[in-house]
Structure 1
Amino acid sequence: MKVLIVSGIWPPDVGGPASHAPELAAFLRARGHGVEVVTTAAADPAPQPYPVHHVSRSLPPAARHAAVAALVARRARHADVVYATTMLRRAAVGAAAARRPLVVKVTTDEAYERARRAGLFAGSLVDFQSARGGVRVRALRRTRTLAIRRARHVFFPSAFLRALALDWGLAPERTSVLPNPAPPLPPFEPRAQLRARLGLDGPTLALAGRLTAAKAVPVALEALSRVPGVSLVIAGDGPDRDALERAGAALGLGDRVRFVGGLPRDDVLRLFHAADAALLSSAWENFPHTVVEALAAGAPVIATAVGGVPEVVREGDNGLLVPAGDAAALAAAIERYFADDALRARLRAAAAPSVADHAPERLLGRIEEALREEVARA
Structure 2
Amino acid sequence: MSKNIKILITTGIYPPDIGGPAQYAKNLSEEFKKRGNAVKILHYKTEKKLPTGIRHFLYFFRVLFSLAEVDLVIALDTFSVGLPAVAAARLLGKKIIVRIGGDFLWESYVERTGNLIALKEFYERKIGLSAKEKIIYSATKFVLNNCSALVFSTDWQKSIWEKAYQIRPGRSYIVENFYGEKITDFEPKEKNFIWAGRPLKLKNLEILKAAFIEAAKENREIKLEIFTDLPYQELIKKLQNCYGVILPSISEVSPNFILDAIATNKPFILTKETGFYEKMKDIGIFVDPHNREDIKNKILFLADDRNWQEYKKRVADFKFVHSWQEITDEFINIYQKLCQVVEI
Change in Cα spacing, 1:77 to 1:210, as seen in structure 2 (3 Å) is: farther
CA distance in 2 between counterparts of 1:120 and 1:100 reads 40
Aligned counterparts of 1:140 and 1:61: Cα–Cα separation in 2: 11
Provide the residue aligned with 1:351 in structure 2: 315
**Structure 2 match to 1:75:** 66
* Per-residue deviation, 1:114: 3.0
Q: 1:83·1:103 contact (CA, 8 Å) conserved in 2?
A: yes
CA shift at 1:371, angstroms?
A: 2.9
Tell me, yes or no, if structure 1 residue 222 matches structure 2 residue 210: yes
| Structure 2 residue 234 is matched with structure 1 residue 267 | yes
SS of match in other structure, 1:270: helix
Within 2, Cα distance between the matches of 1:134 and 1:143? 14
The Cα shift of 1:349 comes to: 2.0
Deviation at 1:166, TM superposition (A): 1.1
- Counterpart position of 1:124: 118
With 105-114 and 282-291 compared, the bigger mean Cα shift is at 105-114
Alignment check: 8 A CA contact 1:313 1:321 kept: no
Partner of 1:61: 52
| Kept after mapping to 2: 8 A contact 1:158/1:311 | no
1:135 Cα deviation from its structure 2 partner: 6.7
Unaligned 5+ segments in structure 2 are none
Q: Is the Cα–Cα contact under 8 Å of residues 295 and 355 in structure 1 kept in the other structure?
A: no
Q: Deviations over 1:62-92 (max 9, x none)?
A: 2212112221222222421110111321221
The 1:271/1:376 distance shift into structure 2, 3 A limit, reads: farther
Measure, in 2, the Cα distance between the counterparts of 1:79 and 1:376. Answer: 18
The reply on whether 1:191 has 2:190 as its aligned counterpart is no
For residue 161 of structure 1, report the CA deviation from its aligned partner: 0.7
Report what 2:87 is aligned to.
93
Cα deviation per residue 1:319-356 (whole Å; 9 max; x = unaligned)?
211101222211211111111x3322222122144251
Counterpart for residue 9 of structure 2? 5
Counterparts of 2:114 and 2:200 in 1: how far apart (Å)? Answer: 16
Q: Tell me what 2:293 maps to.
A: 328
Which amino acid in the other structure matches residue 332 of structure 2?
E
Aligned pair 1:363/2:327, yes or no?
A: yes
Q: Counterpart of 2:170 in 1: which secondary structure?
A: helix
Aligned match of 2:28: 24
| Runs of 5+ consecutive residues of structure 1 not aligned to the other structure | 41-53, 196-200, 238-261
Q: Cα–Cα, structure 1 residues 61 and 184, in superposed 2: closer, same or farther, change >3 Å?
A: farther
Provide the rounded CA distance (Å) in 1 between the counterparts of 2:319 and 2:193: 20
Find the residue that maps to 1:57 and give its secondary structure. Answer: helix
Which of the residues 251, 267, 273 maps onto 1:284? 251
Q: Which moved more, 1:155-164 or 1:341-350?
A: 341-350
> What CA distance in whole angstroms lies between the structure 1 residues aligned with 2:114 and 2:129?
8
Is the CA contact (8 Å cut-off) linking 1:236 and 1:263 kept in structure 2? no
User: Does structure 1 retain, via aligned residues, the 8 Å contact 2:180–2:321?
Assistant: no
Equivalences for residues 43-192 of structure 1 within 5 A: 54-86=45-77, 87=80, 88-119=82-113, 123-129=117-123, 130-131=125-126, 133-134=128-129, 136=131, 137-167=133-163, 168-183=165-180, 188=184, 191-192=186-187
Report if aligned partners of 1:270, 1:297 keep a CA contact under 8 Å in 2: no
TM-score by length of structure 1 reads: 0.79
Cα distance, 1:134 vs. partner? 4.6
Question: Contact 2:192–2:223 at 8 Å: present in 1 too?
Answer: yes
Deviations along 1:306-326, one digit per CA (max 9) or x if unpaired, are 131313331xx3221110122
C-alpha change, 1:325 and 1:366, in structure 2 (3 Å) is same
Give the CA deviation at 1:102. 0.6
Q: Distance in 2 between the 1:37 and 1:114 partners?
A: 27
Q: Does 1:374 align with 2:342?
A: no
Q: Which residue identity lines up with residue 38 of structure 1 in the other structure?
A: L
How many residue pairs end up in the alignment? 328
8 Å contact from structure 1 (residues 92, 148) kept in 2: no
What secondary structure sits across from 2:180 in the alignment? coil
Contact 2:193 2:242 in 1 (8 A): yes
Structural RMSD (CA): 2.4
Distance 1:80 1:121 in 2: 43
In structure 2, the partner of 1:294 is 261
Preserved contact between residue 95 and residue 102 of structure 1 (Cα < 8 Å): yes
Give the 3-state SS of the residue equivalent to 2:208 in structure 1: helix
The residue aligned with 1:213 is 201
Question: Which residue number in structure 2 is paired with residue 241 of structure 1?
Answer: none
TM-score (norm 2): 0.86
AA aligned opposite 1:303: L
Describe the superposition over 1:259-287 as per-residue Cα deviations: whole angstroms up to 9, x where unpaired.
xxx212x3322322221211112112211
- 3-state secondary structure, aligned to 1:312: helix
Per-residue deviation, residues 84-103 of structure 1 (Å, max 9, x unmatched): 11132122112223321110
Q: Among all aligned residue pairs of Structure 1 and Structure 2, give the percentage whose two residues are the same amino acid.
A: 19
